[in-house]
Chains A and B, each alone.
Chain A
Amino acid sequence: MESMEIDKKSFWYSEWSFPILVGLMSAGVFAGTHMYYQYGVGAFNEVAIVAMLKAGMDGGSYGAAAAFGASFLFARILEGSLVGILDLGGSILTGVGIGIPAIMLSVGWKAPITNFSFAIATGLVLGLAIGGIITLVRKYTINQSQASFGADVMMGAGNSSGRFLGPLILISAATASIPIGIGSIIGAVIFYLWKKPIAGGAILGAMVLGAFFPISLK
């Protein structure tokens, strides 16, 4: 990874482009919440989290969604600037996509959510602000020193954790049902002999056998 030349001045790698990146993401996600509010489809989050927003939309309280989303957003902004990876799920999908709309709706300000262009603009501004805060925090912490802050340790750990996925999928398939377990073993073996990571083969094998021998969710 160190071998690659990075042009930190270019848009694609620079610090100043980060707020724009977060802005684009937030605009899309906030507009996704608009879609959900208007058409009942298109929120970029898990069913359980969207359900909190839904509770407010159906006449209940927005409190849960607002508190949950806002605290996630706050924690992730701090963490993101220190670690170098802003957690997309906590900050944007949950914070901007659920928490902030819930706060707006709880005080009766519906326009940013009901109007599509307004939603895009609101998301963009929120994202620019979040990205800006992170860039500023970084400027006064990480970038002021030459220290690596253990980045190599973290990257090494991040890389090796991925290798565990293949065996984990096999174990999980084996406990789902016998046909799915066998399918996933066959898929993994084929991928292994084919010199591919076994995770992909294990999933495909499990899905093929699962189509012929369906299981129930519970």
Chain B
Amino acid sequence: MTFVLILLKSILIGGLVGFAAGMGAARMFNAPNVQALGAFRTLGEMNACEGDPASHFSFGLGFFFNAWASTVGAGAFTQDITHRVIPNWAASALLVRNKKIEETMHDPKKMAFTSALIGIVVVVFLNTTASAIPKSLQITAVKVLVPAAELLINIVMPIIFWLAAIDAGKRSGLWATVFGGLSAMIMGNAVPGVVLGILIGKGVDELGWVKLTKIMFTVIIVLFVLSAFFRGFDVQMIESFKLPVPNWLDSLHGLFNVK
């Protein structure tokens, strides 16, 4: 009975998540004109496969083994299911029939329905298979893909965005450097900061310091202050400079510690 229940629930969950993952990913190719749901790494990796169905499939497959292992071991799908497996497999399925990425991978409607189907299959499969996958395949995938993806996300992407910002003009280069450095320290990855630097730099280039750009600048500062606070960066920073942490700051942190 439990098996049937898990099966039925998995079909619904897989359909919902797959539909949204596919639609969100396809909308990324039209961002920022269209608000999308996805991740810069998904965007970069899907472009890396250059519209080749075999590449999309094998890229997804590598992470699928990893996700399967993690599900069997700990019950956790890993974020790769929504970030990598579903969008890449959906793209692969669509590209087999039509090579034009504008009519397939970039089309939210086609991606949504294909991804919903793939999501159902993947989630049902992961939730119902308790049997182990060949250990050697899973370890190879982990040992090869994970370090490569981490290098891409933590080193290569920040540098490319950074250099693009510097080439795009003095203002975006300046703010990308300031925010990129800060976000590498506070958020652990420089890409969000560099992107915000380009945003504010080009925004001011095109509009000047008007109300809109001022509001955006304030929001970015607030974003950094809040991220720093919730990640405990403020206390770490004060301690690193060998200064005493003020009592009010300590008690403020105590307030937000949900026990």
Inter-chain CA distance A165–B20, complex, in Å, is: 26
A-B contact pairs, 19 of them (CB 8 A): A21-B20, A25-B82, A39-B2, A42-B126, A44-B82, A63-B258, A75-B227, A85-B37, A102-B258, A148-B206, A162-B49, A164-B48, A166-B48, A196-B55, A200-B49, A210-B137, A214-B139, A214-B140, A215-B136
- The verdict on A149 contacting chain B, using a C-beta distance below 8 Å, is yes
A74 CB → nearest B CB, Å: 6
Counting residue pairs across A and B whose Cβ atoms lie within 8 Å, the total is 376
Min C-beta distance of A4 to chain B, whole Å: 5
Contact surface of B with A, Cβ cutoff 8 Å: 2, 6, 9-10, 12-17, 19-21, 23-24, 27-40, 42-50, 52, 54-59, 61-62, 65, 70-71, 73-79, 81-83, 102, 106-109, 112, 119, 123, 126-127, 134-137, 139-145, 147-149, 151-152, 156-157, 160-161, 163-165, 168, 172, 187, 192, 195-196, 198-199, 201-203, 206-207, 212, 215-216, 219-220, 222-223, 226-227, 230-231, 256-259
Q: Which of A138, A164, A176, A201 contacts B156 (CB 8 A)?
A: A164
Provide the residues of chain A in CB contact with B160, threshold 8 Å.
157, 160-161, 164
A contact face: mostly helix, strand, loop, or mixed: helix
Residue of A nearest to B227 (CB): A75
Given the interface pairs A42-B75, A180-B144, A215-B140, the reply to whether A25 lies near B20 with Cβ below 8 Å is yes
A85 touches B12 (CB 8 A): no
Q: B195 to chain A: which residues have CB within 8 Å?
A: 83, 154
B48 touching A12, Cβ below 8 Å: no
Q: Identify the closest chain B residue to A177 (Cβ).
A: B143
Q: Are B142 and A217 in contact (CB under 8 A)?
A: yes
A43 touches B75 (CB 8 A): yes
Residues from 51 to 69 in A contacting B, C-beta threshold 8 Å = 51, 61-63, 66-67
| Closest partner residue, chain A, to B109 (CB atom) | A12
In Å, the complex CA distance between A22 and B168 comes to 32
Distance in Å from the Cβ of A13 to the closest Cβ of chain B? 5
CB nearest to A163 among chain B residues: B48
User: Least Cβ distance of A63 to chain B in Å?
Assistant: 5
Cross-chain contact A145 with B148 (CB below 8 angstroms): no
Q: Bits for A152-182, please: 1 = Cβ < 8 Å to B, else 0.
A: 0111111111111110110111011100100
User: Other CB < 8 Å A-B pairs besides A169-B145, A171-B151, A207-B141, 19 of them?
Assistant: A8-B34, A28-B14, A31-B12, A41-B126, A50-B74, A50-B76, A80-B35, A89-B39, A93-B82, A147-B202, A149-B32, A153-B168, A154-B195, A154-B198, A159-B44, A164-B156, A173-B148, A180-B144, A204-B58
Q: Determine the interface band of chain A, counting residues with CB < 8 A from chain B.
A: 35 or more
A209 to B140, CA, bound (A): 9
A25 to B22, alpha carbons, bound, how many Å? Answer: 10
Q: Which of B6, B76, B172 has the most CB of A within 10 A?
A: B76
Assembly CA distance A66 to B160 (angstroms) = 34
Q: Mark A132-152, 1 if CB is under 8 A from B, else 0.
A: 001100100110110111110
Pair A75/B79 contact, Cβ less than 8 Å: no
Minimum Cβ distance to chain A for residue B98 (Å): 14
Provide the residues of chain B in CB contact with A70, threshold 8 Å. 230
Q: Which residues of A contact B134 (CB under 8 A)?
A: 211
Q: Does A114 contact B (CB under 8 A)?
A: no
CB neighbours of B14 from chain A (8 A): 28
Q: Distance in Å from the Cβ of B60 to the closest Cβ of chain A?
A: 10
CA distance A29 to B29 in the complex (A): 23
Separation of A148 and B205 alpha carbons in the complex (Å): 10
Chain A residues with Cβ below 8 Å from B52 are 196-197, 200
Q: How far is the CB of B84 from chain A (nearest CB, A)?
A: 11
